[in-house]
Amino acid sequence: MRSRHLRSPGALLAALCLLAVTLLLGAGQAYAAPAGADQRVRLGTPSGGESDAGVRIMPLGDSITDGFNVPGGYRSDLWQYLVADGHTDDFVGSQSNGPARLGDHDHEGHPGWRIDEIDAHAADWVRATSPRTVLLHIGTNDMVQNHDPAGAPARLSTLLTHITDAAPTADVLVSDLVPLADPVLESRAAQYNAAVPGVVSALAAQGRHVHFVAMHSALTTADLADGVHPTAGGYSKMAARWYSALVSSPVTRWEAENSAYASVHDADLLSSPTASGGVKAGHIDNADSYLQYVITAPYTGAYRMYVRAGNGMGSTCTHLLTVDDAPAVTVAYPSYGWEEWSMTGVDVHLRQGANTLRFAKGTCYAEIDAIDFATLGAPTPWI
């Protein structure tokens, strides 16, 4: 058995959920598993190496896209979601950084840049890489630098016009800004955020392929490392919100440490600097060890679940998952290192009302930060 004192992380972050639990399991929209698939559980596929093919996606913005404080930023978990669902994608851009679990490190994030500075180059970047999809989070530095914040929505409109002129068939997903801890900065950002949906709607009415993504509500100031940039957990919540937009389905998070619906037996809840709520479930080491969720489902049917797990054993490790009284199945996690999270996608069949999901010890050792649920809507061509 592992020592329970080998990995004691840093300071505990505030334990927060990505969205209210009822946003997903109150939605009442079933995810239809592929024809011929096991209707109880279907295992996902771990991410592979650097991508040079598939749907071209450009993450575009400033230091939050670059991943300040956390190399890779939201792109790491977003990549994990994409691969967990079997998508073949190619992140594009002139910049490159991120951890091993990020299968494609290319992006167009430029620390410190404002909307006008991105606009001066965006059309050239887009023409050079021909993205199918653009993920745009921009405007934070306009607020922080107090660079005519009132004029920022107009500058955003100009930027989007230039992007869509350069790539008229691309879809551009435009988010509002994540929260800012300083009340003055947040007040400026609130006015900008309020205007962003209108900017997007006006351009969409012209036939431009632009779409609004509500990012501000995905995080709180507790998810910020320095009052401006997200923590690792905050970036994970950004990834979930981007992925929700890309698959046209709410993606909601259930934290392993939330006693309202989760518990551990002969295992531990450990503070973690990279977990989305600051806590992970670990030391699921023994035959009677487990992490258990009680999930209330509004309908009987198939749901898509993503397990955010960490494995530093150097080889693939597993848990045994049981859903109610169904036979246990194996959920496998690649080894990227402790605190380096992977996403494994699993199709689960839940019945209306309360369901018990239990993760017990499999081979070697792995830790769980959280599980996410999605009910998939109409397929999009964006990924």
Q: What is the tens place of the pLDDT at every residue in 249-260?
A: 889 899 999 999
Does the pLDDT value for residue 25 go beyond 80? no
**How does pLDDT run across 120-158, given as a tens digit for each residue?**
999 999 999 999 999 999 999 999 999 999 999 999 999
Q: Is the model's pLDDT at 211 over the cut of 50?
A: yes
Average pLDDT, the chain: 88
Residue 85, CA distances (Å) to 89, 99, 244, 285, 345 in order = 11, 20, 13, 29, 6
Please list the helix, strand and coil fractions of the chain in percent, rounded to the nearest 5, in that order: 25, 30, 45
The single-letter DSSP state of residue 107 is E
User: Does residue 28 register a pLDDT over 70?
Assistant: no
Per-residue pLDDT, averaged over 175-181, amounts to 98
pLDDT at 106: 97
Distance CA 180, CA 105 (A): 26
For the stretch 268-320, pLDDT in tens is: 999 999 999 999 999 999 999 999 999 988 889 899 999 999 999 999 999 99
Edge-to-edge strand list for the sheet holding 290-297: 262-265, 290-297, 353-361, 317-323, 329-333
The string of pLDDT tens digits covering residues 311-337 is: 999 999 999 999 999 999 999 999 999
Give per-residue burial for 13-36: e unless 16+ CB within 10 Å, then b.
bebbbbbebeebbebebebebeee
Say if residue 30's pLDDT is above 60: no
Specify the pLDDT at position 297.
84
